[in-house]
Amino acid sequence: MRTMKNVLSLACAVALAAPLTAAGNMNAGSTPATGSMTGSGGSLSAGRQRGQSIVVQGVTLSGAYQSVMFSCPLTFFGASTYQWNWTCSGGSVTIKDPSSSIVMSGKFAGATMKLTGAGGGRGGHVSYTYRFSGSFIGTMKQGATIRAVSGSISTLATTRIANGAPGKVVNFSLGW
C-alpha cells in the first residue's frame, strides 16, 4: 500500500510539472527566456470608460532594445476624492530593437493602475502620479529562436493634470 502511494505521488508530481515546463519552453532542449529591461521617456494616457485603454508609448529602453509600447483595455474605472483606480486586461505589449523589428509581443493577463495626488496647500502645486502594474504573457524572438515568456511590467508616470491627461513616463521596468 505504501509503495502504491509513493508511485501515485510521483506520477502526480510529474504530471503537474510537465505542462509548466512545456509552457515556458517552446524549443526542446532550450531554457526558458529570462531577463529584464528598464527605460523612461514617452507618455502614459488613460481612458475612463470601459472599452478605452491605458496606453504607454515612446518609452526608450536601455540596452539592446529600442522601444516599448503597450495598450491595455479597461475592465474597470473608479474614482474617489483622493485616488483613481483602473483595471485592465488583454491588449498588447510590443518591444522593438534598433532596426524596428519586433522582438517581444504579448498581452496582459491582468493589470491595475492608480492615480494619486500630492502637494498643494498655499500656492503650492499639486503633482499626480500614475502607478501601473501588470502581468503579461507572450513570445520573445532571440535570433532564430522564439520562446514563450511571462512576466510583469511596472510603470511610473507623473503629470500636473488630474483628468487622465497624458503623464510623462519617469520609470519603466519589465521582467520575464
DSSP string, 145-167: EEEEEEEEEEEEEEES--SS--E
Task: Tell me the pLDDT of the chain (176 aa) as tens digits.
Answer: 433 333 333 333 333 333 333 333 333 334 556 889 999 999 999 999 988 999 999 999 987 778 999 999 999 999 887 789 999 999 999 999 888 888 999 999 999 999 998 887 777 788 899 999 999 999 999 888 899 999 999 999 999 877 656 899 999 999 99
| pLDDT of 119 | 81
- Judged by DSSP in three states, 91 sits in strand
- Measured CA to CA, the distance from residue 143 to residue 24 in angstroms comes to 18
Q: Where are the domains of the chain?
A: 1-29, 33-175
Report the DSSP pairing between strands 126-142 and 102-119: antiparallel
| Burial label, 57 (beta-carbon count in 10 A; 0-12, 13-18, 19+) | middle
Q: What is the pTM of this model?
A: 0.77
